[in-house]
Structures are given as structure tokens and as C-alpha cells.
């Protein structure tokens, strides 16, 4: 599904990511963890085309995607959420979702201007799909509310709904549980698993909440100073001395 080979990214003299190798198979649910500033979000930005890698390559479904623009990466089938929520804050909830459906729209600008039958059909279909998706995230009652007025947890859910509207094969979640209480985090965990099974997705997520990462991820990559220091199942990671060192520091002798 996703194969990252020897990926490096430097900002001036700073190597944010160096010699990164990640291999994700179809349908996997993978966690990417690491201390603050380890380069996790940089990895996401490299995959989605926000940054261009200094070295290395990214293959998605056997095709090279590094060097593509972010919207082209999305068209290939990768959608993401953001660490600091980036909703279309002044638009209503359903329009947020519809914008992500835009790439699948079945009518042209001309069809819209002339109000051809394709426009009415296309709009009705988008409305229906968007409402179905909102229902999954229990947001259908708030479809006409302005996004910025939603409570924090619902904004996070809306961001995931919006990413799913792009109909991706690979979903990248950047700290989906940030700012959520334990109850919400637990619900989110169930939701992530359910999404993966229902939409037949592969999911890569960055998270600091260890209960979520350990509870939901099948495999975990640990990133520190831009390199992978460990990978494996949740239990292996928990007992890996390198990981403990990265998080807690070296034991004083």
C-alpha cells in the first residue's frame, strides 16, 4: 500500500527526517509515535506532498507520489486530518464535507452555470452522500451549523468525516484524540476500528495518547530525531529499551 524508502528531509542544516523506511500493507492500522519534535507531522507532510523530500521516495500502490502536489496526492487516494484542526470554520458542517467530495463531482462549471440536469443530479447525490457520512459521525443533526461553533470533540470528528468524503484508500490521522477526554478517546478508538472495517481503509495515525495507540494499532513505528528507532506490535514497543529511553531519558547510573 504505502512504501517509504530512505526518506530524508532537511530544512537548511536541520535534518527533520533522515533515512526513514516505512512499509504499510493493505488494511493495516499503524501507529506513528515519538516524543515532541521527533518529526512525525513532517512525515505526514512529506507523504501528502506539502513538503518535497530531500532524498528518498514514497510509493503508494506501486506508484511514486513524491513530487506531486497535495491535491494530486489526495486524488490518488490519501486523505488526512490536521494536528491543529483546519476545518472551513465559517462554513456549515455539510459544506465542509461536500468540499471534500468535490473531486468526485460529476458536473462541470458550465453545467452549474447553465443549471443543466447533471447539476441537479450531482448536487442531490453529494447531499445524500454527505448526510450519510455525517450520520456515521453522529453529526447529521448539526449539518447546517457553522463548523466553528461545534464543540471540540465534534470538530475532530467532522475533520475525520471530511477526510473520508475524499474517498481515500489510506487515511492519515494526525493526533485525532488531542484534547479529548478519556470517554471521548475510548469512543474514538471504537470509531477508528469501525471506519477501517467499514470503509476498507488502511490507517496511519500519529498519537500521543498511549491508551489509544496501544489499544487500536496493530503495528507501531517509533520515531525519534527523524529516524525510526523501533517498530513492532504494541507489546514489543512497550518493553523496548530504546523507546523507553527516548520517552523517559536514559537511566542515571
Partner 1 sequence: MKRVSILNRKNALTLFLVIVMYAVIQGLIVTDILPPLYTSTLIQVCVYVILAASLNLINGITGQFSIGHAGFMAIGAYLAGIVSVKFHGPLFLSLLVGGIVAAVAGFIVGLPTLRLRGDYLAIATLGLGQIVMIIFQNIDYFGGAAGMQVGRHINWSWAFWVTIISLVVIHNFVNSTHGRACISVRENEIAAEAMGVNTTKYKVLAFTLGAFFAGVAGGIYSNYMYFIQPTTFNFLTSFNILVMVVLGGLGSMTGSILGALIMTVLNVALSGIPSLRMVITALLLIIMMLFRPSGLMGTKEFNLNFLEKKGERNVA
Chain residues binding partner 1 by CB under 8 A are 48, 50, 69-71, 74-75, 79-80, 82, 86-91, 95, 98-103, 105, 107-109, 112-115, 119-120, 122-124, 126-128, 162-163, 165-166
**Nearer to partner 1 among residue 40 and residue 231 (C-beta):** 40
CB of 210 to partner 1, least distance (A): 27
**Nearer to partner 1 among residue 22 and residue 158 (C-beta):** 158
CB of 88 to partner 1, least distance (A): 4
CB of 111 to partner 1, least distance (A): 8
Q: How far is Cα 93 from Cα 131, in angstroms, rounded to an integer?
A: 10
Contacts of 188 (CB under 8 A, 6+ apart): 156, 157, 176, 177, 180, 212
**Nearer to partner 1 among residue 40 and residue 162 (C-beta):** 162
**Nearer to partner 1 among residue 146 and residue 210 (C-beta):** 146
**Nearer to partner 1 among residue 169 and residue 230 (C-beta):** 169
CB of 85 to partner 1, least distance (A): 9
CB of 233 to partner 1, least distance (A): 30
**Nearer to partner 1 among residue 162 and residue 196 (C-beta):** 162
CB of 114 to partner 1, least distance (A): 8
Amino acid at each position: 500500500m504505502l512504501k517509504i524508502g530512505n526518506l530524508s528531509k532537511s530544512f537548511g542544516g536541520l535534518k527533520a527526517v533522515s533515512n526513514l523506511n516505512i512499509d504499510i500493507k493493505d488494511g493495516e492500522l499503524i501507529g506513528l509515535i515519538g516524543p515532541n519534535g521527533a518529526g512525525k507531522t513532517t512525515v505526514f507532510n512529506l507523504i501528502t506532498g506539502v513538503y518535497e523530500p530531500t532524498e528518498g521516495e514514497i510509493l503508494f500502490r506501486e506508484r511514486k507520489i513524491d513530487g506531486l502536489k497535495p491535491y494530486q496526492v489526495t486524488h490518488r487516494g490519501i486523505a488526512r486530518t490536521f494536528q491543529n484542526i483546519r476545518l472551513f470554520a465559517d462554513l456549515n458542517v455539510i459544506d465542509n464535507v461536500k468540499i471534500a467530495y468535490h473531486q468526485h463531482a460529476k458536473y462541470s462549471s458550465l453545467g452549474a452555470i447553465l443549471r443543466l440536469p447533471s447539476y441537479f443530479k450531482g448536487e442531490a447525490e453529494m447531499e445524500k452522500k454527505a448526510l450519510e457520512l455525517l450520520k456515521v459521525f453522529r453529526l447529521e443533526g448539526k449539518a447546517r451549523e457553522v463548523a466553528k461553533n461545534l464543540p471540540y470533540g465534534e470538530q475532530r470528528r467532522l475533520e475525520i468525516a471530511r477526510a473520508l468524503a475524499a474517498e481515500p484508500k489510506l487515511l492519515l490521522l494526525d493526533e485525532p484524540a488531542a484534547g479529548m477526554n478519556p470517554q471521548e478517546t475510548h469512543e474514538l478508538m471504537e470509531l477508528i476500528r469501525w471506519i477501517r472495517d467499514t470503509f476498507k481503509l488502511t490507517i496511519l495515525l500519529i498519537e500521543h495518547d498511549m491508551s489509544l495507540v496501544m489499544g487500536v494499532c496493530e503495528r507501531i513505528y517509533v520515531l525519534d530525531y527523524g529516524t525510526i528507532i523501533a517498530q513492532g506490535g504494541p507489546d514489543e514497543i512497550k518493553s523496548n529499551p530504546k523507546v523507553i529511553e527516548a520517552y523517559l531519558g536514559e537511566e542515571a547510573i
